[in-house]
A and B are shown apart, each in its own frame.
Chain A
Amino acid sequence: MAPSVERSFTAASTIEEAMAARRQGAAVLAGGTWMMRDPRRGVDLPEALVALHRIPALSKVEIAPDHVVIGAAVSHAVLGRALHGAVGFEGLVAAAENAANPGIRRVATVGGNLCALDFAAADLPPALLVCEATVELETFEGPKLIGISDFLKDRHALLAEAIVTRIHLRRDLVASAHIRLPLRKAGDYPVAIVSLAVDKDKRCRIAVGSVEPVARRWTALEQAMAADSASAFDPERAAGLALEHNDFQGRDGKEAEGWYRRQVLAPLVKRGVAALLKTGGLA
């Protein structure tokens, strides 16, 4: 066991209490599955922490006819169960139910997954990108809403003065899918992730995770598929367009080199479109 350390630890019971601790410089502790490995990465644990798990408002999933609100402290397992069977959220459910392993999924939270800055292989960001989620932050100036794309791009600066509190989703999807490629069947970080969704106007949204350091929408492919409307429902054709419009710079990592991550995207798009066609909304 490590030598005794004087560390400040606040288990906040309200968002206000959590923000007060943040103002004093406390780092946010979610489920702990990423932060607890900091020492193995050569990073010291923070000297002051504030935990969010005792804040009731951040620990629930609210499902309304036209929208869903997910608390930042909701675990992957709870998210998967809450949205299971909800039309349009098949991809998000698959992301929540297949990330890491069952023990981690019971602990790791939605907020933690979005805020782990160095975790390129996180499953939820691409799934939430195709949902066009809105991230709710509590800042020192009050609550703030920001689109998930902008949040992911700017989160390093945003999180210096804010806590992620909730994720808001519209229920405007008819189908979605989440395709991940680990080197083994389970338990590994995925080499590449492709999330796809089809909205009520039959427009296809596509996002990619784990290939670049931060997940992002694949707008070049979305535009190509919009111009060739049949491709959204033809796996081979979609894969052909994916090959043609691959504008990713693969990151080198322990699991795979960058060129490989980039190379597997077209086959994953093919699998993704095939999975979309099997969902209730498109079948």
Chain B
Amino acid sequence: MTVIFQLNGEDCRFDGDPMTPLVDILRQERFLTGTKAVCREGFCGACTVHVDDEAVPSCLKPIGLVQGCAVTTIEGLSSGNQALHPLQANFEAADAVQCGMCFPGMVMSLSAFVRDNPHAGRAEIKAAMVGNICRCTGYERIVDAVADWLDQARMAGQVVRGIHV
């Protein structure tokens, strides 16, 4: 089967088994290895990407369902030559990243969450992270960084219509 979709803003074509998990195409065909294949059961969140702006686990997304969709991976949030996504910059500033395995998924889940929930508090941030497991257990610092960024954005008046990501 041939599947045509947008990948980080560019046209992408896949020929093969329509039940191939999206994560395998990203990593093995497109070499976008920021998306991690860890549990492959939708529990850990390390493979989270945006499909049509929604944060979803790419390990459970058969490529056949991606026909005509827009996929954004961690590499698509900011290339190496650009400024980091504000959430990434805040994580770096807060030194929130530990081993880094969960982080692409954390950023993809939370960037969509803060875009849609600019007035979220700590409880909502934690609820949004339920599907992203950090085995370094650095959760509180991540929550701090997200909450700080939302505070900064609110003070800067950027949240009238949500935060652009």
Whether A associates with B in a native complex is: yes
Total A-B contacts with CB atoms under 8 angstroms apart: 91
Question: Across the interface, do B62 and A29 meet the contact criterion of CB distance under 8 Å?
Answer: yes
Contact flag A49-B19 (CB < 8 Å), given A1-B28, A103-B45: yes
Please indicate the chain A residues that have their CB under 8 angstroms from the CB of B64 in the complex. Answer: 9, 11, 29, 49, 51
**CB of A100 within 8 Å of the partner chain:** yes
Give the distance to chain A from B135, nearest Cβ to Cβ, in Å: 13
For the complex, would chain A's binding face be called helix, strand, loop or mixed by DSSP majority? loop
Binds B, one of A32-40, A156-164, A217-225, A249-257: A32-40
* Complexed CA–CA distance, A103 and B129 (Å): 10
**CB of A87 within 8 Å of the partner chain:** no
Binary interface encoding of chain A residues 28-52 relative to chain B, with 1 for a CB under 8 A from any of its CBs, else 0: 0101110011001000010001010
Question: Across the interface, do B20 and A40 meet the contact criterion of CB distance under 8 Å?
Answer: no
Interface size class of A (residues with CB under 8 A): 20 to 34
Contact flag A101-B130 (CB < 8 Å), given A51-B65, A106-B56: yes
Contact flag A102-B19 (CB < 8 Å), given A9-B1, A32-B61, A187-B131: no
Question: Across the interface, do A40 and B19 meet the contact criterion of CB distance under 8 Å?
Answer: no
Contact flag A102-B61 (CB < 8 Å), given A36-B21, A40-B41: no
Q: Which residue of chain B has the shortest Cβ distance to A102 in the bound complex?
A: B131
Quick one: which of A65-104 are within 8 Å of B by CB? 100-104
* Complexed CA–CA distance, A102 and B127 (Å): 8
* Complexed CA–CA distance, A31 and B109 (Å): 18
Question: Across the interface, do A4 and B57 meet the contact criterion of CB distance under 8 Å?
Answer: no
Question: Across the interface, do B57 and A102 meet the contact criterion of CB distance under 8 Å?
Answer: no
Give the distance to chain B from A84, nearest Cβ to Cβ, in Å: 14
* Complexed CA–CA distance, A40 and B20 (Å): 14
Q: Which residue of chain B has the shortest Cβ distance to A32 in the bound complex?
A: B62
* Complexed CA–CA distance, A107 and B21 (Å): 14
Please indicate the chain B residues that have their CB under 8 angstroms from the CB of A9 in the complex. Answer: 1, 18-19, 64
Give the distance to chain A from B83, nearest Cβ to Cβ, in Å: 27
**CB of A5 within 8 Å of the partner chain:** yes
A1-B29, A4-B17, A102-B113 are known; give 17 further A-B pairs, CB within 8 A. A1-B28, A2-B17, A7-B1, A11-B64, A33-B57, A36-B21, A37-B40, A40-B41, A45-B19, A49-B64, A51-B65, A101-B43, A101-B130, A102-B109, A104-B60, A107-B56, A186-B130
Sample (20) of A-B pairs whose CB atoms are under 8 Å apart: A2-B17, A7-B19, A9-B64, A29-B62, A33-B57, A40-B40, A40-B41, A49-B64, A51-B64, A51-B65, A101-B43, A102-B55, A102-B127, A102-B128, A103-B45, A104-B42, A104-B57, A104-B60, A107-B56, A187-B43
